[in-house]
Amino acid sequence: MTPSRRDFRLFWGSDAANQFGTAVYTFVLPVVAIEALDASAFQVGLLTAAGTAPFLLIGLPVGVYVDRARKRPLLAWSTVGRAVLLATVPVAGWLGGVAFAHLLVVALGAGVLTVFFEVASQAYLPTLVDREGLTGANGRLQSTQQVARLSGRPVSGPLVQVVGSVNAVLAISASFVVSAVLLWGVRTPERAVERRERALWADMAEGLRFVFGHPLLRPVVLCTASFNLTNAVWGAVTVLFLLRDLEVTTTAAAVLLGVGSAGGAVAGLVAGRLARLGRVRLVWLSMLVTQPAWVLVAVAGPGGRVALFAIGTLVTAAGVVVYNVAQVSLRQSLCPDRLLGRMNAGVRFVAWGAMPVGAVAGGALAEWVGVRTTVWVASAGMVLSVLWVVLSPLRSMRDLPVDH
């Protein structure tokens, strides 16, 4: 089987449209809750948690299913499903009003489908790209994801002001439809699906043993989980922090969030070149150099101090993107093909499963000690998470051994 450049470009475009839609709806849904329902900090945190809780609840069995199924149709149908779910929000608005419970159901359902998409996507990429090209391909995907977020968030602000937050959700569905259409155009045949009668629990356990038993993967998973936990604390109060503490408009808030994505977009483009420093070395170095900039975010304030928010998120986002390119490529290179779905699911189960916990904790903490203190707690946690990879065997390596 020879990977097709055309098919990778279609997959790349599909992922970009998908990420654009995700960037808009993850910003707009909390805005709907805040503006239409006057949601509290805890409710916003709960809504944020609903979008990531499925990684904790169903991530492991989804990994087994992905390893047993064809991945391209799975990617397409999970994308179509999100388009349909999100479209119910404006329909409810037209029929008399959106309820908070409805928003929770939509966020949870979209989160379930996102689990299928994310696990299958990383397992599908090695079908379209040779192993040697994974770092470059992941770099392009990460860069485009950041561009999608960079454009999606600023677009969402004016869109909300022009058509209203509830109606803005309808526009998001179109991007997921485009994503699905592009996926259906991919023609590269997939590797044969492993047909096994083995018990579900045995397959899940095999994936977890690989992830936590590997001395190079374990610190990466712990670093990512720690970072995601505290980043979710931050994410639960981000919109409130911008609108109420920094006193910016909805449009300005969307633009400020997009600034961080700009750093990630540039970082994704150069990640392949930075790999010359060492693909393994890049995993820890990218985080050590950039994540202390979270302090700038925590000290940001109204007026001119808003610039500190922009600078801090620009630098930290760039570091996270380079880290993600490096660690995802490392995982894909180390993992046998038959375990790709379960490996990705195992990593997501721990790393993304921490996010709903952090989101709920962030909302509760903000109610207890205030939004500003919560931002400081989250910032400190993200900086400290770097220690997992800095103090690991990765610290003494430049690249993977040839016979890994």
Q: Is 307 part of any domain? A: yes
* Radius of gyration from C-alpha coordinates of the chain: 20
Q: What is the mean pLDDT of residues 271-278?
A: 77
Q: What is the pLDDT of residues 63-93, one digit of tens each?
A: 777 777 788 888 989 999 999 998 888 888 7
- The rounded percent of the chain whose pLDDT value lies above 90 is 21
Q: Is 192 part of any domain? A: no
Q: Quick one: pLDDT at residue 301? A: 86
Q: Is 193 part of any domain? A: no
Q: Is 190 part of any domain? A: no
Q: What is the pLDDT of residues 362-400, one digit of tens each?
A: 888 988 998 899 999 999 999 999 999 999 888 888 876
CB–CB of 70/190 below 8 Å?
yes
Q: Is the pLDDT confidence value at 224 over 50?
A: yes
Pair of tokens at residue 368: 């207890």
CATH code for the domain in which residue 98 is found: 1.20.1250.20
Q: Is 261 part of any domain? A: yes
* Domain with 92 in it: 5-184+200-396
Q: Is 189 part of any domain? A: no
Average per-residue pLDDT for the chain: 82
Q: What is the pLDDT of residues 289-338, one digit of tens each?
A: 999 999 999 999 888 889 999 999 999 988 988 898 888 888 877 777 77
Q: Is 403 part of any domain? A: no
Instruction: Please give the tally of structural domains in the chain.
Output: 1
399 vs 397: CA distance, rounded Å: 6
Local confidence band at 182 (pLDDT 50, 70, 90 cut-offs): very high
Q: Is 176 part of any domain? A: yes
What are the CA-CA distances from residue 334 to residues 5, 208, 391 (Å)?
23, 14, 20
